[in-house]
Amino acid sequence: MNSLTTWTATLLCAGALGAAAQAPVAPPQDGPATKVGVISFQAAVTQTNEFQRDFTDLEKKYEPKRQELKTLTEQVDTLKKQMQTQADTLSDAERESRSNVINEKEKQLQRSQEDDQNDFQQDMQQTFNSVASKVGDVLIAYAQQHGYTVVLDAGSQDAQVVLFTTDSTDLTKTIVDAYNAKSGVPAQASSPAAPAPKPAAPRTPHPTAQH
C-alpha cells in the first residue's frame, strides 16, 4: 500500500522543526553559530518499533477482508472461464443471464476493493500521524539538547533543501533509537514490510550544511 502520505510527514516535520528552530538554543562553543542537522522524517517514523508493531496489527485486521476479496475474484474468474468454454452450447437467454451474473459480481468486487482500500488508507494515516507527532516531540527535544539551530527534512519530495550531508549530521537513526528507548516498544520479531518513503534526491556539496 502507498498510504503513508508524504504531505502528512512534511506537514508534521515542518511544524516540529519550526518549533525547534524558534526555541532558544545555545550555540556550540566550537565552530560556527549555526549547527545544522538533517533527518528523513518519514523514514524515521516508519522505522520505529511502535509503528512497525501498529502496522503489523493493521495488516492482521484487514486480512479477513483481503481473503474475502480473493475468494470473490476467484469466483468471477471461474464464471468467466465457464462461460467461455460453454459459449457454443449456451442459448442466447442463458448467455445473457450468465453475463448479468458476472457483471453484478464484478461490480460488487470493485466496490469492495475500493472500500477496503479507502478504509485501509484512513487507518494507515491515523497510525502514521499518531507516531509521527511523538517522533516530532523527540526530535525537538534532541535538537534543543544538542544545540541544533536548524534540522532539515532530507526526505521531503516537495522541497528538496538538503544539498549535502555527512553521517554525523544525519539524525534519522539517532532519533529512531531515542524514540524506541522512550516508547519501550520492543522490535518486532517478524513483520510485513511497511510502505517505504520516497528516496531523497542525490546530494551535492554545500558549505552551509557543514559544521
Work out the average pLDDT over 103-116: 94
DSSP H/E element including 10? helix 6-22
Mean pLDDT of the chain: 77
Work out the average pLDDT over 104-113: 94
Work out the average pLDDT over 69-93: 90
Quick one: CA torsion of 157, 163, 167, 172, rounded to 10 degrees? -30
Kindly tell me the burial class for residue 90, based on how many C-beta atoms sit within 10 Å of its own C-beta (0-12, 13-18, 19 or more). Answer: middle
User: What is residue 158's predicted lDDT score, i.e. its pLDDT?
Assistant: 58
What are the phi and psi torsion angles at 38 (to 5°)?
Answer: -130, 155
Cα torsion angle, 131, 132, 134, 138, sign: positive
CA distance 38 to 187: 24
Side chain identity at residue 191, one-letter code? S
Domain ranges of the chain: 6-209
Exposure on the CB side of residue 173, measured as CA atoms within 13 A:
4
pLDDT of 208 strictly over 90: no
Tens digits of residue pLDDT in 129-187 = 999 999 999 999 999 898 888 888 887 665 555 545 566 778 889 999 999 999 989 98
pLDDT of 22 strictly over 60: no
pLDDT of 31 strictly over 60: no
Q: Do residues 38 and 169 touch, judged by C-beta distance below 8 A?
A: yes
pLDDT of 78 strictly over 60: yes
Share of the chain above pLDDT 90, in %: 43
Give the pLDDT band of residue 110 (cuts 50, 70, 90): very high
Cell triple for 77: 474468474
User: What is residue 9's predicted lDDT score, i.e. its pLDDT?
Assistant: 40
CA distance 116 to 122: 10
CA distance 146 to 141: 9
Q: Do residues 136 and 14 touch, judged by C-beta distance below 8 A?
A: no
35 versus 169: the higher-pLDDT residue is 35
